[in-house]
């Protein structure tokens, strides 16, 4: 497990109720899912990765479901627009 004074992790799943107690601070970056998907897909293409199917069939549906079930935006200590 990584150790550091500050560890920044980008993962919606960290807002799961079972994980929140292990976090000192949570920050929600307010970006709509379509924009996040477009940026992520563009980044993957720039890195030579073809993850379009994963984005469309797995990651985006999972993020939608997670947001509906656990309301991560509302659980964040800080919201950044």
How confident is residue 60, by pLDDT bands cut at 50, 70 and 90?
Answer: very high
Q: Hey, where are the domains in the chain?
A: 32-80
pLDDT over 80 at 1, yes or no = no
Q: What is the pLDDT of residue 67?
A: 94
Q: What is the pLDDT of residue 47?
A: 97
Mean pLDDT of 18-37: 92
- CA–CA dist 54, 73 (Å, integer): 23
pLDDT over 90 at 37, yes or no = yes
Crossing angle, helix 60-70 and helix 33-46, to 10 degrees? 150
Question: Cα–Cα distances in Å, from 19 out to 6, 14, 75?
Answer: 17, 6, 12
pTM confidence score: 0.80
Percent of the chain scoring above 90 in pLDDT: 80
């Amino acid at each position: 497990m990584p150790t550091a004074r500050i560890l920044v992790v980008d993962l919606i799943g960290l807002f799961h109720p079972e994980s929140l107690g292990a976090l000192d601070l949570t920050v929600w970056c307010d970006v709509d899912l379509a924009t996040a998907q477009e940026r992520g897909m563009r980044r993957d293409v720039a890195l030579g990765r073809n993850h379009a199917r994963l984005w469309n069939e797995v990651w985006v549906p999972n993020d939608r479901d997670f947001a509906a079930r656990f309301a991560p935006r509302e659980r964040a200590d800080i919201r950044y627009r």
